[in-house]
A and B are shown apart, each in its own frame.
Chain A
Amino acid sequence: QVQLVESGGGVVQPGRSLRLSCAASGFTFSSYTLHWVRQAPGKGLEWVAVISYDRITKYYADSVKARFTISRDNSKNTLYLQMDSLRTEDTAVYYCARPGTTTHNWFDPWGQGTLVTVSS
Chain B
Amino acid sequence: DIQMTQSPSSLSASVGDRVTITCRASQGINRWLAWYQQKPGKAPKSLIYAASSLQSGVPSRFSGSGSGTDFTLTIDSLQPEDFATYYCQQYNSYPLTFGGGTKVEIK
Contacts and interface: CB of A to CB of B under 8 A. Distances in A.
Contacts of B43: 95, 109-113
Contacts of A50: 94, 96
Given A45-B87, A45-B89, A107 B95 contact: no
A8 B58 CA distance: 31
Contact of B89 (A59, A61, A95, A106): A106
B8 interface: no
Interface string B72-107: 000000000000000101010011111111000000
Q: What's the dominant secondary structure at chain B's contact region?
A: loop
A59 B95 contact: yes
A61 B97 CA distance: 10
Given A100-B46, A100-B49, 5 more contacts: A62-B95, A106-B34, A106-B46, A107-B34, A107-B44
Interface string B57-77: 000000000000000000000
Interface string B27-42: 0000010101000000
Interface residues of A, number: 21
B50 interface: yes
Contacts of A62: 95
B81 to A, nearest CB: 18
Contacts of B32: 104
A46 interface: yes
Contacts of B98: 44-47
B49 A106 contact: yes
Nearest to A46: B98
A81 to B, nearest CB: 16
A102 interface: no
A32 to B, nearest CB: 14
Interface in A74-120: 95, 100, 104-113
